[in-house]
Amino acid sequence: MDLISILLYGLPLFFPLYLIWKIIDRKRHQYCYVLDYECHKPTDDRKLSTRFSGEVIRRNKHLGLNEYKFLLKAIVSSGIGEQTYAPRMVFHGREACPTYEDGIEEMDEFFHDTIDKILKRNKISPSEIDVLVVNISMLACVPSLSSRLINYYKMREDIKVYNITGMGCSASVISINILQNIFKNEKNKVALMVTSESLSPNWYIGNDRSMILANCLFRSGGCAVLLTNKLAWKDKAMLKLKQLVRVHHGANDEAYDSCVQKEDDQGNIGFHLDKTLPKAATRALVDNLKQIAPLILPVRELLRFAIASFVKKMNWGSTKGEPKPVINFKTGVDHICLHTGGKAVIDGVGASLNLSEYDLEPARMTLHRFGNTSACSLWYVLGYMEAKKRLKRGDKVLMISFGAGFKCNSCLWEVLRDLGDENVWKDCIDTYPPNTLVNPFVEKFGWLHGEDPDTFYVPDDYVIP
C-alpha cells in the first residue's frame, strides 16, 4: 500500500484523534491558578488604637451622649482589636474635609507596596502582565486607577484592563470570575488582580447610627494577586480554581436597600447599613450554597441531607422539636475562608454551616487584627491559614464573600502544595489567637453608661484616658 493510500484511509481515523487532542489541550489551558498574593500592611503610624479612636469620635461635634453609647456598644461588640489601620488623613485631623489627593495617595501607598513586592518576589516584569483587574469600589477617578498603574509600571499597550467600582466587599470573587472567563478563551496569560477600598473620601462625619457603624468596621488594607493559566508555571502555583458561583439579589428592593451609599438628613455622605442587612445576607448565602453545594460536596453527603430533609418534612418518627437538618460542608471542604464583615456576619455564617471555632478562627483573628478590609479581607484570612501552616497539598478552601447589591459570591480552591511562607502575619502570628478578644473600650469608656443625657457634655480640655 503506497503512502497516498495510507493517508486516504488513515485520515478518517486521525482527524477524530486530532479533535480529541485539541479538546484536551484546550481544557488543560483553561485552568485558573494563583501564583502568589501579597497583602498590604500599612505603616505603624496609621494604627488606630483605642485611645485615638476615642479622640476621633470626640472630634465629631454632631454626636451626643446617645451616639457615644451606641458607638461604645458597636465597637465593643465588633470583634476589632487595637492594631487595625485607618487612612492617613484621619491622623491629620482632616476626616471632616478630605481632599481628592487623600484618596489617591492612600491607593498609591498600597499599590507600590504590594505590587512591587509581588513582582520582585516572583521575578516577573510589569511588561509580562497580560491582564490587569483593579477593584476599588468607592473611588472613581479620571484617568482610572488601572490606567494609573499602567502608567506607573509602564505596562504593554495591548494589556487587557478591567477597572471595577461599586461591587463592595464581594469584588475579589467577581474579579476572579472575569479572569476565569478570559483564561477559558486565551492560552498562556498572566494576570494581576488588585483589590482594596479607599476610605479617605468616605469617612462619615454625621450622627446617623446606621451610617456611623461603617466607621467602626471598615479599615485600610489591600491585596495584589498574581494569577495565570500557563501550564509551564503550574508547579509554582499555590492554588487552583475548582468552582465559582455568584448570586445577585438586586431585583429585591429590601436586599438592594440593605447596604447603600447615600446622604443623611444633613447632607453628609456615608454608607448606610440597614437593619435588614442580616436577613438579606442570609437569603443570598442560602441561594449561593444551594448552587455550589452539588458542585463541591460528595454524593453521599447530598443524599444524606436530602433524606434527612425529606423525613423532617414528612414528620416521620420523632422529628418534632428537633433542629432542621444541616448540610455538612466539611465533607467536601477542608477550610472555610469567610469575609470579615463583622462579628455578627462570622457568627451567622458559622451557625448556618454548623462550623466549629477552629473553622471560624481565621476570620475572627483577621477581623481582630486588620478589621473589615472590604473585598481584600478574604486574602488576609487565607494568609492567616497559611501562616498557621494549615494549608496542605490537596486541601480544598471555600471562599465566601458578601457585597452591596445585594450579592453573595463563593469559590472553591484546591491547594497545590504545602503552604507556609512568610506573609503579612509574620510579625504577629505567634500571638494569635490571643487569650481574650475583649475590647479595651469597655475599660476606658464604660463610664458613659452612667451619664445623664440632659447634663452630659465633653469639656474641651478633656484628655482621653
Which residue numbers are catalytic? Answer: 169, 248, 335, 339, 368, 372
Burial of 94 (0-12, 13-18, 19+ CB in 10 A): middle
Cα–Cα distance, 278 to 168 (Å, whole number): 16
Strand partners of residue 413: 241, 397
Burial annotation 200-236 (CB, 10 A radius, 16+ → b, else e) = bbbbbbbbbeebbbbbbbbbbbbbbbbbbbbeebeee
Which of 203, 247, 33, 217 minimizes the C-alpha distance to 106? 203
Strand partners of residue 47: 85
Q: What is the largest CA-CA distance in the chain?
A: 109
Q: At what angle do helices 171-185 and 377-387 cross, to 10 degrees?
A: 90
State CA 1 to chain mean position distance.
Answer: 66
Query: Regarding beta strands 131-136 and 190-196, do their DSSP bridges make them parallel or antiparallel, or are they unpaired?
Result: parallel
Cβ proximity of 39 and 121 under 8 Å: no
Cβ proximity of 348 and 281 under 8 Å: yes
Cβ proximity of 240 and 412 under 8 Å: no
Alpha helices in 405-452 (DSSP H): 441-445
Please tell me the number of Cα atoms within 13 Å of 172 on its side-chain side: 30
Cβ proximity of 45 and 220 under 8 Å: no
State CA 335 to chain mean position distance.
Answer: 15
Strand partners of residue 39: 223
Dihedral in degrees, nearest 10, Cα atoms 413, 416, 418, 424: -50
